[in-house]
Chain A
Amino acid sequence: MSSNMLAMILAGGRGSRLHELTNRVAKPAVAYGGKYKIIDFPLSNCANSGIDVVGVLTQYESVLLNSYVAAGTRWGLDTKDSGVFVLTPREKADAGLDVYRGTADAISQNIDFIDNYDPEYLLVLSGDHIYKMNYAKMLEFHKEHNADATIAVIGVPMKEASRFGIMNTDGNGKITEFEEKPAKPKSNLASMGIYIFNWKLMRKMLLKDMKDPNSSHDFGKDFIPVMLNEGRTLCAWEFKGYWKDVGTIDSLWEANMDLLDDKNTLDLNDPTWRIYTEDVAVLPQYVGPEAKIKRAYITQGVEVEGSVTNSVLFTNSQVGKGAKVIDSVLMPGAVVEEGATVTRALVADGVRIGKGAVVGKKNSENILLVADHVKGKED
């Protein structure tokens, strides 16, 4: 391992707040930004940061996620000692099949996997964030501060700070207090759910946490507070840049819409920090003779014959003649047939909006998730 740091991505449960989008695929395999999947971000960040081995922790078996990440070649995680591994709860010689009881427990149950690589540091990531981060810089900070653990934090608007886990620090970046969703926040530094731990210490503490009947085995609720109580050195590393948690349909839609903004700081075409993804054999995007496209983010394999305004179109989606797509996201393979209108909606993978159908409303409070085919007027 070149960086002596192994990464574990908490890909979590089914992502129930994303509703039908995650019925068939686990949350990290949900599509984003035209051609990507959410998990491409942490995986590309790992590859670009020189991390070779990545474990993806998921509660549920997911064939699609499994086969997707197994091709480590996509992110360049394909040298001799590198790889991406999906780790679901397993039956072990001394323990029956169990679920992951919490985020910390998911790591505890894979101590044997981590031991195989004998890393010095363990990086714990969340699987549903969109951002570009150089974890090597965070590790540098961690080493410089002789920390036992380093937590990445981001400044959030003070009035929103009570929605987050807030870190209070001394002048030197050392965390003095951690408050989960405080009513009266003392700082605006929110935890991003990205941690670096010294593996030897962490291993010892995890073994203890596993046996603690009072622990819910969660990083935020149990593990970090215990570290603070024990007087360990915890540091906050401040991240500056684009970061978005895409846990809900609205935030997933917003994160896509952010790509249309001129001032968006998430540059997906930065040659020094590419986001890698699955390679598909499709034609370039085709724009028909009567098409109208204003403010759009469109990827290869898309066919547009109608009109597209302020929308993001994913691989192989189609907009038929006379159809209108406004303020919407068409996921891979979604089809809007002739004359149909889609407004403020997120149309799920492969869903067909029939001829002349109308879905979604201007000024609707929430974004409409269209997860089933919509019949056309003539069907």
Chain B
Amino acid sequence: MANKAFGIITSAGGNFHVEGLHDYRPIGAFSFLGRYRVIDFPISNMSNSGIDQIQVYVSSRPRSIAEHIGTGRHYNINSKRGKIQLLFTQINNPMSVYNNNIAGFIENMEIIERMHLPYVVIAPSYMIYKQDYSRLLDEHVESGADVTLLYHKVSDARDAYIGCSVLNINKQKGVLSITPNMGTAKEKNIFMDTYVMSKEIFMDLARQARAQSSAFTLSDIVSAKCEELDVRGVSHRGTFASITSLNDYYNANLGLLDLDKADDLFRSNWPIYTRTTNACPTQYYDTADVKKSMIANGCLIEGKVENSIIGRDVHIRKGAVVRDSIVLAYSDIGEGVKIYKTVVDKWAKITSGNEIKGTLDHPGYVKRNDKI
């Protein structure tokens, strides 16, 4: 990589709230496909792109993210030359308008200023996609643009990606403005909250945003500067999901049970790293009946699992049926329990006889540690 960048990983703004799951952890720490956490994707993308200076901004409930990232060694980042920093903001209320990414950047401006690399790649901790940032950076430098934004053209923006931003682009891929997705049309260019720019422009934009309004976010200021600056969009291809509502979380997980899709995200030359928990393999008993599912390690499976994702160390007991569902780590699904289209959070214990169902257009949710 001729051009050098450091990485910034942002957390979701107060405009996003994922029912249930979000009460316990930031989106980046959500379990994904039973083995990963959402933040593994942006960090692995950066690591695989040769970015080894990474700042992770955590705006609330830092424990799970801090624990998961640790020294960052499992992300294949050189422990001497590289580093992952966790940076916090003082405003801890995740719902506050003041708790936005600009607030984090301003509070940590000194640290940003000290980075000796000329460019920055900014990516969200709440979206799943694969992207080679070194190619994106090269494209950015070659184009001569001031700011490059990554977007994904979707055809289901009416139901999904609500609250995400949309890039309004002209034919030359020049960005005219960034506006919220209100679900008014099917086809939209969903902004992937991913930016490439020089460190100087980035610092300048953060300071200008703060001068304009305490509630201004990075995308607000970029949108406001679209005329003044050369802001361009680059279209992303491949699997893309925004984990910004329970529905989107649910669909992103289950969508990958189609192995061809998952294949695009998980190529051996583009490993997705995560922290190991040293769980042993999964045990299938005589009564097990598993179809079209992804199962993490450490599970005991005696019951029926169909079209579902089962996290680590989950026990599915005899006669239990889990269908179209996501069961997070350490949960215990009791004998004869039926779970349909539901997200069961970690450490939940559902005892015999219960039946839990989501609705046709909305998955159910069982709280963390809940006993039913």
Q: Which of A179-187, A232-240, A293-301, A357-365 has 4 or more CB atoms under 8 Å from chain B?
A: A293-301
Q: Tell whether A41 is near chain B: CB-to-CB under 8 Å.
A: no
- By beta carbon, the residue of chain B nearest A283 is B266
Q: Tell whether B364 is near chain A: CB-to-CB under 8 Å.
A: no
Contact A285 B294 (CB under 8 A): yes
Q: Tell whether B286 is near chain A: CB-to-CB under 8 Å.
A: yes
A294 and B286 contact, Cβ closer than 8 Å, known pairs A35-B281, A283-B266: yes
Chain A proximity mask over B294-334: 1 for CB below 8 Å, otherwise 0: 11111000000100010001000000000000000000000
| Inter-chain contacts of A206 with B (CB < 8 A) | none
Complex: A285 Cα to B259 Cα, angstroms: 11
Q: Determine which residue in A269, A289, A294, A303 has the highest number of CB atoms from chain B within 10 A of its CB, and name it.
A: A269
A289 and B291 contact, Cβ closer than 8 Å, known pairs A35-B280, A274-B278, A296-B284: yes
Q: A283 touches which one: B35, B278, B282 (CB < 8 A)?
A: B35
Contact B291 A284 (CB under 8 A): no
Q: A295 touches which one: B271, B276, B280, B285 (CB < 8 A)?
A: B285
Complex: A274 Cα to B309 Cα, angstroms: 25
Complex: A308 Cα to B288 Cα, angstroms: 11
Complex: A73 Cα to B292 Cα, angstroms: 35
| Inter-chain contacts of B282 with A (CB < 8 A) | 285, 297-299
| Inter-chain contacts of B122 with A (CB < 8 A) | none
Q: Tell whether B41 is near chain A: CB-to-CB under 8 Å.
A: no
Contact A287 B291 (CB under 8 A): yes
Contact B295 A287 (CB under 8 A): yes
Contact B297 A300 (CB under 8 A): yes
Contact B281 A293 (CB under 8 A): no
Complex: A34 Cα to B281 Cα, angstroms: 6
Within 8 A of B (CB), among A254-310: 259-260, 268-269, 274-277, 279, 281-300, 303, 308
Q: Tell whether A354 is near chain B: CB-to-CB under 8 Å.
A: no
Tell me how far the C-beta of B137 lies from the nearest C-beta in chain A, rounded to whole angstroms.
24
Complex: A276 Cα to B280 Cα, angstroms: 9
| Inter-chain contacts of A320 with B (CB < 8 A) | none
Q: Tell whether A42 is near chain B: CB-to-CB under 8 Å.
A: no
Q: Tell whether B149 is near chain A: CB-to-CB under 8 Å.
A: no
- By beta carbon, the residue of chain B nearest A44 is B278
| Inter-chain contacts of A296 with B (CB < 8 A) | 283-284, 288
- By beta carbon, the residue of chain A nearest B285 is A295
A279 and B276 contact, Cβ closer than 8 Å, known pairs A284-B296, A299-B281: yes
Contact A33 B280 (CB under 8 A): yes
Complex: A296 Cα to B297 Cα, angstroms: 13
| Inter-chain contacts of A312 with B (CB < 8 A) | 281
Contact A283 B276 (CB under 8 A): no
| Inter-chain contacts of B290 with A (CB < 8 A) | 287, 291, 293
Contact B284 A293 (CB under 8 A): yes
Q: Tell whether B344 is near chain A: CB-to-CB under 8 Å.
A: no
Contact B278 A275 (CB under 8 A): yes
Contact A297 B295 (CB under 8 A): no
| Inter-chain contacts of A308 with B (CB < 8 A) | 284
Tell me how far the C-beta of B15 lies from the nearest C-beta in chain A, rounded to whole angstroms.
31
Q: A288 touches which one: B273, B291, B298 (CB < 8 A)?
A: B291
- By beta carbon, the residue of chain B nearest A305 is B259
Contact A299 B297 (CB under 8 A): yes
Chain A proximity mask over B62-90: 1 for CB below 8 Å, otherwise 0: 00000000000110000000000000000
Contact A284 B281 (CB under 8 A): no
A290 and B291 contact, Cβ closer than 8 Å, known pairs A285-B282, A300-B35: yes
Number of A-B contacts defined by CB within 8 Å? 98
Tell me how far the C-beta of A223 lies from the nearest C-beta in chain B, rounded to whole angstroms.
36
Contact A288 B35 (CB under 8 A): no
Chain B proximity mask over A51-83: 1 for CB below 8 Å, otherwise 0: 000000000000000000000010000000000
Q: Tell whether B26 is near chain A: CB-to-CB under 8 Å.
A: no
| Inter-chain contacts of A274 with B (CB < 8 A) | 278
Q: B288 touches which one: A269, A277, A279, A294 (CB < 8 A)?
A: A294
Q: Determine which residue in A33, A73, A279, A290 has the highest number of CB atoms from chain B within 10 A of its CB, and name it.
A: A279
Complex: A292 Cα to B266 Cα, angstroms: 25
Tell me how far the C-beta of B272 lies from the nearest C-beta in chain A, rounded to whole angstroms.
6
Complex: A289 Cα to B285 Cα, angstroms: 18
| Inter-chain contacts of A73 with B (CB < 8 A) | 73
Tell me how far the C-beta of A309 lies from the nearest C-beta in chain B, rounded to whole angstroms.
9
Chain B proximity mask over A184-208: 1 for CB below 8 Å, otherwise 0: 0000000000000000000000000
- By beta carbon, the residue of chain B nearest A274 is B278
Complex: A284 Cα to B292 Cα, angstroms: 12
Complex: A217 Cα to B276 Cα, angstroms: 42
| Inter-chain contacts of A282 with B (CB < 8 A) | 266
Complex: A290 Cα to B291 Cα, angstroms: 6
Complex: A265 Cα to B313 Cα, angstroms: 18
Q: Tell whether B262 is near chain A: CB-to-CB under 8 Å.
A: yes
| Inter-chain contacts of B285 with A (CB < 8 A) | 294-295
Q: Tell whether B42 is near chain A: CB-to-CB under 8 Å.
A: no
Q: B279 touches which one: A33, A269, A283 (CB < 8 A)?
A: A269
Q: A287 touches which one: B74, B271, B293 (CB < 8 A)?
A: B293
Contact A288 B292 (CB under 8 A): yes
Q: Tell whether B363 is near chain A: CB-to-CB under 8 Å.
A: no
| Inter-chain contacts of A303 with B (CB < 8 A) | 259
Complex: A15 Cα to B295 Cα, angstroms: 35
Tell me how far the C-beta of B49 lies from the nearest C-beta in chain A, rounded to whole angstroms.
16
Tell me how far the C-beta of A109 lies from the nearest C-beta in chain B, rounded to whole angstroms.
34
Q: Determine which residue in A260, A285, A288 has the highest number of CB atoms from chain B within 10 A of its CB, and name it.
A: A285
Contact B280 A283 (CB under 8 A): no
A300 and B296 contact, Cβ closer than 8 Å, known pairs A73-B73, A281-B271, A283-B266: yes
Contact B33 A287 (CB under 8 A): no
A294 and B284 contact, Cβ closer than 8 Å, known pairs A275-B278, A300-B35: yes
Complex: A268 Cα to B300 Cα, angstroms: 12
Contact A293 B288 (CB under 8 A): yes
Contact B313 A269 (CB under 8 A): yes
Q: Tell whether B233 is near chain A: CB-to-CB under 8 Å.
A: no
Complex: A73 Cα to B297 Cα, angstroms: 21
Q: Report the 10 A-B pairs with minimum CB-CB distance, sorted nearest first.
A: A268-B280, A34-B281, A281-B271, A299-B281, A289-B292, A279-B276, A296-B284, A284-B35, A284-B294, A269-B280
Could you name 15 residue pairs across A and B whose Cβ atoms are closer than 8 Å? Answer: A34-B280, A35-B280, A259-B281, A274-B278, A277-B278, A283-B262, A284-B34, A285-B294, A288-B291, A290-B291, A294-B286, A297-B281, A298-B295, A299-B281, A303-B259
Q: 8 other contacts beyond A33-B280, A35-B297, A298-B282, with CB at 8 A cut-off?
A: A34-B281, A269-B280, A282-B266, A284-B34, A284-B295, A293-B288, A298-B295, A299-B297
